[in-house]
Structure 1
Amino acid sequence: MWKVKPTVAFPMETRYRPILESLLPPDPMSQFHLRRFSPDEEFPDLSRNSTWMGRLLTAAMYRRQFHRCTPSGVLFDDVIRPGLEEPGDWSTPVSVGCAAGDAQCYVLFCDFFDRVIEAHHQHKISSQTPEGDFNYNNLKGTCDLDSSYAVRCDVSVVRGVDDFCFPTHCSRGERRQLLTLARRALQRLEEEELPGRLHLLEELNQEQQRELNLDPPSSSLLRIGVARDWPDARAVWVSTDGSLVVRVNMEDHLRLVSTRDDANVAEAFKCICTNVQKLEEFYRELRHPFSWKQQLGWVSSSPADVGTGLRVRVHLRLQHLPGHERLQDVLQRLRLRMHTATECPALHCVSNAATFGLSEVALSQLVVDGVKLLVAMEKRLEDGRDIGELVPTQK
């Protein structure tokens, strides 16, 4: 019968081990020193960068931010990394090209973030606190959308949770704790009014993920660190009636989405307004309120979502207008964006270009009014008439 040999003991090791262990720092990371050269030597090449970060960042601004670091360890190089990984294309809409590692970034690096926010949202930051408006009854004219053109819609809102780093910078432990908080808050939502079920992404097979419209993380999310450890601590909560989906730890801490197979923007907006306010209350009771900054409003990882975090999308069936020479000018004046739906080339998704500067109701109204005008232009083009007199003045 074989016997396990006893561990060989080395007298010298036994003698010196306590001394060696006493020399080790309690936290090795506290002794870590990042080797960097001067700001001028570290300044990135932005000559081919078409993002707002690349257009606005100067060497002088980089020097001012270079030695700053948030309490959670976010450096300015971490903030601008998304724009360096995805420099953009001059022929496409300008992306922000940066991401906040935590909510404190918007304060520490305000010299940079404020300029990006103002450029992207086309609205000046003032000392006034942005006022929200979740009174969905104030939204008008949604019943007038022509169902022959407006075929479906969705409304979404993004929220970050205080005291946690945003997805580009958070640790596994933070992400798992965020999932625990979401589970508790969504359970309260189920008990009070809206039954549903939380699905952990790691427990779903590919077919189940397709049924829930869950795509694998994009190469961009992988490069900037948002998709680290995928699918660990990622989940999606779906209401029983299908009116609401809550994505947890995907692109942001929380993303609420209400999708409809018709163009009833009012009902989708009502669903979002009602449930985001309830979740806000539940998270506050859990002592982790949503991230809010004076002068900016709600903040999450992307400066493109500050203010309201609200996106209203309407899918339109259009044939003539997408190829019209004045379309981009019209969209800019309406403060809207349009792109072709990937699943159907005949459908075009129209959404608000900005989330900052207007209230939730005002942004939704802007999309509804803009969609009506685009449909009116499409009808004119179908009849062979000119749309010049319908082009709005600059908003």
Structure 2
Amino acid sequence: MTFPHLSQSLIPPDPMTKLRLKRGSPKEEFPSLDGNYTYMAQVLDLHMYTRQFNRATDSGVIFDDIIRPGLEEPGTRTGLRTAGCLAGDAQSYILFCDFFDRIIEAYHNYRVSSDATQHSDFNYDNLKGGDGCDPVYAVSCEVCVTRCVEDFCFPTHCSRGERRQLLTLAKTALDQLGEEFPGKFYSIDDLNQEMKDKEIVMEGPPASLMKIGVARDWPDARALWVSEDGTLAVWVNMEDHLRLVSSRNDSNIQEAFAVICNSLLKLEALYKKLRHPFIWKPHLGWVVSSPAEVGTGLKASITVQLVHVVRHKRRDSILDRLRLRMEINHLSGMHKVSNQQTIGLTEVELTQLVVDGVKLLIRIEKRLENNGGIDDLVPAQK
């Protein structure tokens, strides 16, 4: 199967010739993918690897940098499959487009085209029924969105100086946001001290972020801004330049989504005013480090108690048809349901998928509790 690529004229002059990397041939350097359950391993073969081998972005990102996350964290046969790759900068999506386009297609079931345009919709009033999930089953919710900033490398590749500049930008923008939406800015050291004062041990970054280089120089230039009313948190220089999170101890995702929309639009305007807009490409939408989040950068989730659905033989098929994914926690019995896709639909449409899907899963759960059949509830193939 052939995949459309962006015009070769978009690919910048290759700086690889200026590097003196001591490497063998592509065949000699091709990684072992045995037991690797990422989408990267599904897409990558020697032919693909050879095509990317002698390319580097202007900031020095090479293909081995792109695929290293999937080699360090290969996943498991039964776990949720990850993308297994991260872009080192925005240019990575252009230079390595034949690889990233296939990853995006495999992960999102969405075919990238240079003729397509990703659309946004931040009108939270267009979301319907987000406050109507049965609270007996739906216990909490969260909406988060990621953004990366023009002219800076992404976390796996950025320098300490870049990271510190990003922190300064974020502090300036969030201080201005605070004039309308009061909040407090914490460095990670500040957070550690505050947690110690409360006799709470704050853990460091996950080992997975250390392995793939995202957590280099921890905790240098990492920070958290929290709104005064507790409805919004903004993480700086974690998995991406910015991650906005609105979480609630109930299932009213309508309110969480509204907080994200309002604050994100204000932050976008502030960053433009600072002459460092968020990265946008018409055919990809909002560009961030992970191809699993390009398009909208949005993940909406509702945590549910679904004893019977989780154990049902048709669970995976139902989730696939709903275009949802479920993080299963048998220990707590609480399972997080979220959108798998982040590109090709608007922010409202993606959140609506989660709302409608969770409501249907709860209907199926109730039917199973009464030993009823569910054939009439199972959605048609997507």
The one-letter amino acid of 1:72's match is: S
Cα deviation 1:258-307 (Å, max 9, x = unaligned): 01111111110010011111111111111111111221101111100000
Please give the TM-score of this superposition, normalised by the length of structure 2.
Answer: 0.91
1:238 to 222, 226, 238: 226
Query: Does 281-290 or 319-328 show the bigger shift?
Result: 319-328
1:161 to 131, 149, 153: 149
**1:349 partnered with 2:329:** no
What's the TM-score, normalizing by structure 1? 0.89
How many angstroms apart in 2 are the aligned matches of 1:287 and 1:302? 24
The corresponding residue for 1:266 is 254
After superposition, where does 1:325-344 map in structure 2 within 5 Å?
325-341=313-329
Q: In structure 1, what is the equivalent of residue 370 of structure 2?
A: 383
Aligned counterparts of 2:339 and 2:61: Cα–Cα separation in 1? 30
Give CA deviations for 1:312-362 in whole Å, capped at 9, x if unaligned: 1101122222111111111111011112358x6121111111111111000
Q: Tell me which residue corresponds to 2:186.
A: 199
Once the two structures are superposed, residues 206-234 of structure 1 have per-residue CA deviations (whole angstroms, 9 ceiling, x without a partner) of 66289999652111110111000111100
Q: Which moved more, 1:258-267 or 1:206-215?
A: 206-215
Q: CA deviation at 1:64?
A: 1.3
CA 1:185–1:353: 2 relative to 1, 3 Å? same
**Alignment partners' CA distance in 1, 2:236 and 2:70:** 24
Specify which of 281, 296, 313 is matched with residue 269 of structure 2. Answer: 281
**Cα root mean square deviation, aligned:** 1.9
Aligned counterpart, 1:6? none
Q: Which moved more, 1:60-69 or 1:207-216?
A: 207-216
Q: Which runs of 5+ in 1 are unaligned?
A: 1-29
TM-aligned CA distance change 1:207 to 1:388, over 3 Å: farther
Tell me the equivalent position of 1:290.
Answer: 278
Q: Give the structure 1 partner of residue 238 of structure 2.
A: 250
Contact 2:121 2:346 in 1 (8 A): yes
SS of the counterpart of 2:300? strand
SS at match of 1:270: helix
Partner of 1:371: 358
Amino acid at match of 2:90: A
User: CA separation of 1:206/1:337 partners in 2, compared to 1, >3 Å: closer, same or farther?
Assistant: farther
Tell me the CA shift for residue 123 of structure 1: 1.0
The equivalent residue for 1:9 is none
Question: Structure 1's 141 and 288: CA in aligned 2 closer, same or farther, altered over 3 A?
Answer: same
Change (3 A) 1:214 1:276: farther
Moved more, 139-148 or 106-115: 139-148
**1:83 aligns with one of 48, 64, 70:** 70
1:362-390 CA-partner distances (Å, limit 9, x unpaired): 00000000000001011111112121211
- Which of 71, 80, 92 aligns to 2:58? It is 71
Q: Supply the AA of the counterpart residue of 2:94.
A: V
Give the 3-state SS of the residue equivalent to 1:374 in structure 2.
helix
Q: Which runs of 5+ in 2 are unaligned?
A: 1-16
Query: 2: CA distance between counterparts of 1:150 and 1:213?
Result: 29
Matched, 1:103 2:83: no
Identity of aligned residues (%): 59
In structure 2, distance between residues paired with 1:291 and 1:69? 20
Alpha-carbon displacement from aligned partner over 1:228-267 (angstroms, at most 9, x marks no partner): 0111100000000001000001111100000111111111
2-structure distance, mates of 1:213, 1:388 = 48
Q: In the aligned structure 1, how far is the partner of 2:251 from the partner of 2:200?
A: 21
Determine helix, strand or coil for the equivalent of 2:144.
strand
Change (3 A) 1:236 1:263: same
Q: Once the 2 structures are TM-superposed, how far is the Cα of residue 49 of structure 1 from its aligned partner?
A: 1.8
One-letter code of the match for 1:94?
A: R
Matched, 1:125 2:112: yes
Work out the CA distance in 1 between the residues paired with 2:284 and 2:199.
36
